[in-house]
Amino acid sequence: MATNIVTGVAGFIGSHLAETLLNQGERVIGIDQFNDYYDPMLKRKNVASLENYPAFQLVEGDIQQLDWTTLLQDVDVIYHQAAQAGVRASWGAGFRSYTERNINATQVLLEAAKDAKQLKRLVFASTSSIYGNAEMMPTAETVCPQPVSPYGITKLAAERLCWLYYYNFNVPVTSLRYFTVYGPRQRPDMAFHKFFKAALQDEAIGIYGDGQQTRDFTFVEDAIAANLAAATAPEAIGEIFNIGGGSRVVLTEVLDTMDQIVGKPIRRNHIEQAMGDARHTSADVSKAKRLLGYAPRVSLKEGLAREWEWIRSLY
């Protein structure tokens, strides 16, 4: 029975990942500080079901303050999902929490990982935000990163730290660049969650800019499958992978699909474009297909329907 650490275990992706590992009969040490970037009650809800598994242990605390030597003693895989997320909140006074939680926390974890004798893999959750307005679509991992948000800058710095520890200390890292993950438990500051909640409460939603921006949307189950593959594929060590949903969609088309799912038009209110948002994102996932056997399985329509069911049960 393998032992895994999942940081950010109470979060959107972390909680799904921990649940999947526990269902496969593995041990999970979940780490989360339950900060108030969004309602901690939602995070408590995310981990509530995990607490029923005897193989689950919750460690509450700040990554920078924990006793990593003890925690990592028998750990095979670290899934580092914890981060300060959100592009738009990363400007101004909020920036310090991004440097602390994305860069400094990752450095502390890597420093401990280099002395963890049993560690077979450290999977780092990265983001498409590091590409910014990429020069080519779909975007391959070899494209030069040009973040357009402070958030993207901190995630790129953390990813580069991973490579330093790989090259200098043989820490077995691999990095997954997520493209707009959605699905049940999605964070309340993310678009689909906000849109569905507004539809449920019969409010208008704010659309940034003209609504013609495109995104590569990835269903959470597909992102989880990518993590599990990245933790076991021997050729994943020292590599970066794009994890996308396999199709690039215009925002207005997504809204039309949501209208169908909800059964009525969602009222739209156009507001000015947000600072730090990339205009288009599109993942070239051929490398992940080749080395990880990654193949996104959930269509946008099916994924959105599943998120809508969850939103209705939540509110």
Active site residues: 151
Cα–Cα distance between 238 and 163 in angstroms, integer?
7
CA 297 to each of CA 7, 19, 216, 300, 301: distance values in angstroms, whole numbers, following the listed order: 25, 19, 14, 10, 12
Dihedral sign from CA coordinates of 249, 196, 94, 210: positive
Cα–Cα distance between 241 and 104 in angstroms, integer?
23
Asked if residue 204 lies in contact with residue 268, where contact means CB atoms within 8 angstroms, the answer is yes
Cα–Cα distance between 123 and 255 in angstroms, integer?
33
Cα–Cα distance between 163 and 146 in angstroms, integer?
18
Cα–Cα distance between 159 and 161 in angstroms, integer?
5
Helix (H, G, I), strand (E, B) or coil at 93: helix
Asked if residue 217 lies in contact with residue 245, where contact means CB atoms within 8 angstroms, the answer is yes
Asked if residue 146 lies in contact with residue 202, where contact means CB atoms within 8 angstroms, the answer is no
DSSP 275: T
H/E stretch holding 206? strand 205-208
Helix (H, G, I), strand (E, B) or coil at 270: strand
Asked if residue 276 lies in contact with residue 87, where contact means CB atoms within 8 angstroms, the answer is yes
